[in-house]
Amino acid sequence: MQSCTAVKHLVPNGVAVSVRRLFRFAVLGPGALAADAFFDDIPIVLTASRMAQSPVDAPVAVTIIDREMITASGFTEIHDLMRLVPGFMVADWADGSPSVANHGLGDAYDRRIKVMIDGRTVNSPLWGNTNWQDLPLRVDDLERVEVVRGPNGAAYGVNAFQAVINLITRSPSTESGARVISRLGEDGFYDHGFRANGSADAAIDWRLSGSHRRAVNFRNYVDDGGEVNPRETITRSVLNLSATAQLSTRDELGLMLGISDGTSDRGIPGDLEEPLREDKSRSNFLHLTWRRSFAVDSELTVQYYHQDERMRAAWVNTRYPPLVIPLDMNSDVRRDDLEVQYSTTLSPTWRFMVGAGVRREAARAASMFNTRGTLSGTSSQLFGSVVWSPVEHLKVDLGGTLEDHHYSGPLFSPRFALNYALTPESALRLSAGVSYRTPSLVESNAEQVVRIGSQIKQLFLRAGDDMQPERVRHIEIGYAAMFRELGLGLDVRAFHKHYTDYIDDQRCFYPRQPWERPLPSGERFCPPAPSGYAPFEYDLRDGRGPRSFLFQNAGTFNMTGAEFSVDWHRPGWGRIVLSQAVIDINAGKDVPDPDFDTSAPTSITSLLLMKDLPGRWRASMGYYRHAVMNWLNDGDRVPEQGRFDLRLARSFGEPGSGNEVAVVAQSVGGRYADFHEGRYRHEPRLFASLNLSW
């Protein structure tokens, strides 16, 4: 099996091919691949430990969302694909980017999940979250998604805290010709895209793709009390280029670059605090890789990437008539990262990987950092992994990352895992480790102000002093198997996680006069305000006076749960992918948020059914349900609910061409509560699509 992964460099960008398919390709040539579907059953994953391996051998639980699932789901937004992963929740809200959470702890900024595109991190340096709608690629560009369903700091360092998502794009070498994709639906929805590829015999394999889309996600929702809540309509344009050049039999050079540009129409008509506005966003990236293969299972990779994000969001606050206060919500952020990695197999029983990287992050946000200019920090890390097979059927995996973070200093994230093979295609797994999340630039430096001239009239978010990084100690036991004769894949695990130094924002108050009495029990005074602080008279008269929200370490808690996924496939009939997760959070007395225990629903269900029909028709249905839960901070209670999606498609033209017409209905039951039951109702969507190649 070891020689199977030696040829993975033949497939750039980590295209989803099975280990045995790679072996057949290397030994018998490409003609053998189409002749034997027997070799379609064992995929490889690249994200679990940074080394190519079967999910059965991985030291952590991994879910693969393959191209068939991506198409059958009917999803047009990448974040929605996470609904297919056991234990994951997805929510959108009208005032910001969608949020993705694993096993709870979700709020407006999903900064506890590391998200990558082809191995490069795309989390924003400002908040640490992922701006899903601004990613410079589309679902049509994806070959597969690999999701590590738990902490993985041993492989990726700080901020791989709750999960790791790796979006793996299609390799230019796997396609030829051109393709157009067009989606049109009700309420002005459209999503038009194209892909153009170089010729198969060219010296450089390349692909250029682009798209332009518009969608109404939220209308102004009027709640039971007559209050009008925000709306959101997004428009985005995306363009990206991917190219690879085989410089020699050993050397390969890769280039990827992309841009996303668009607007978000948000706000409430006539509202003083959330007026109508148009937020403008742009994100760019450049990703360079050089890969050298020395021998079987011996490879050196060097990669550099740059990303920058720009947000232009000018508000006007008219809460204090007759004053009209301009609010500068603009931000500019960037990240530069250089990384080198070497992996090899020393013998049939020893395999190892080692690497190092350096990363610089910077952000400028005048209102968020009180006009302190550009804030930046440089971090470095060493990482490695050793896999040892002391006896037949047993693998011992030791991994870890030592990181010197610009805020938190040195942190070491270790992992210890045992995999015992019951059969060649099934194994028991025991894994334990420690992972960290460091404060984002906002959490560690926030001093969000509203100014009139030289005076600070309001203080919102503020950074606490001497915050410690969040830490999680995690242990899991799992079972993964592939029953080829049944067409069945199974993944079961139970886990326990202990969290300390959880970071949250808590309300604090400023004394209106120095001689005022202490605050009631459970409340706290804010740290001294910066010079020039002169609150509005309105705020001085309001209740307990001016207030801020202070980031600080807010307690410890435990999380226990279990999950399973079943993937059954029968050629000519179709496929069923079912997952279920149960989660329990037990917060300590030092966690002040009363909604914390219910931030994870007690159960989460995902079902994707794909059915082959006569005449080249295919139908699919998605069902996604969660029990009642609470999104934290800007979010709130969301009731128990299920969402149904339906898709009916017919392929035409040459077999394998991908030509298809389809009709998709998302959220068949109508509008549904999302992120905050009292404020947001996500819109359903009905559209038709055409996929045409030549």
Helix ranges (DSSP H) in 487-595: 537-541
Q: What residues contact 157, with CB distance under 8 A and at least 6 apart?
A: 381, 383, 401, 403, 411, 413
* Residue 519 pLDDT grade (very low, low, confident, very high; cuts 50, 70, 90): low
CATH 2.40.170.20 residue spans of the chain:
45-693
Q: What is the pLDDT of residue 21?
A: 40
- pLDDT for residue 534 is more than 60: yes
pLDDT tens for 110-143 read 999 999 999 999 999 999 999 999 999 999 999 9
Beta pairing partners, 354: 342, 384
pLDDT attached to residue 147: 98
Mean residue pLDDT of the chain comes to 90
| Residue 73 identity | S
Q: How confident is residue 23, by pLDDT bands cut at 50, 70 and 90?
A: very low
Local confidence band at 15 (pLDDT 50, 70, 90 cut-offs): very low
**pLDDT tens, residue by residue, 302-327:** 999 999 999 998 777 766 767 777 77
**25 or 251: which leads in pLDDT:** 251
Distances from the Cα of 143 to the Cαs of 344, 622, 627, in angstroms?
26, 20, 31
> Quick check: 74 pLDDT over 60?
yes
Per-residue model confidence (pLDDT) at position 169: 96
What is the separation of C-alpha 33 from the centre of its chain, rounded to a whole number of angstroms?
33
> What is the pLDDT at residue 38?
33
The domain 45-693 having CATH identifier 2.40.170.20: the answer here is yes
At residue 372, the pLDDT reads: 83
Query: Do residues 325 and 452 touch, judged by C-beta distance below 8 A?
Result: yes
Residue 176 pLDDT grade (very low, low, confident, very high; cuts 50, 70, 90): confident
Judge contact between 209 and 196, C-beta under 8 A. Answer: yes
DSSP state of 599: S
- pLDDT tens digits, 605-628: 999 999 999 999 999 999 999 999
Q: Summarize pLDDT for 440-460 with one digit per residue, the tens.
A: 999 999 999 988 888 998 899
Strands 455-463 and 547-553: parallel
φ and ψ of 83, to 5 deg = -65, -20
Helix (H, G, I), strand (E, B) or coil at 647: strand
Q: Given pLDDT bands bounded at 50, 70 and 90, which one contains residue 22?
A: very low
- Per-residue pLDDT for 14 more than 50? no
Query: Cβ contacts of residue 330 below 8 Å, gap of 6+?
Result: 311, 312, 313, 314, 365, 366, 367
335, 78, 19, 204 alpha-carbon torsion, rounded to 10°: -60
In this prediction the pTM is 0.93
Three-state SS across 138-202? Answer: CHHHEEEEEEECCCCHHHHCCCCCCEEEEEEECCHHHCCCEEEEEEEEHHHCEEEEEEEECCCCC
d(CA 193, CA 240): 11
Start-to-end Cα distance in the chain = 38
For 407, how many CA atoms within 13 A lie in the half-sphere containing its CB? 24
pLDDT (tens digit per residue) in 213-271 = 999 999 999 998 999 999 999 999 999 999 999 999 999 999 999 999 999 999 998 88
Q: Where residue 26 falls among pLDDT bands split at 50, 70, 90?
A: very low
- Residue 113, judged by CB atoms within 10 A of its CB (0-12, 13-18, 19+), counts as buried
Torsion of CA 153, 157, 163, 164, to 10 degrees: -130
Percent of the chain with pLDDT over 90: 78
For residue range 339-354, list pLDDT tens digits in order: 999 999 999 999 999 9
d(CA 253, CA 177): 22
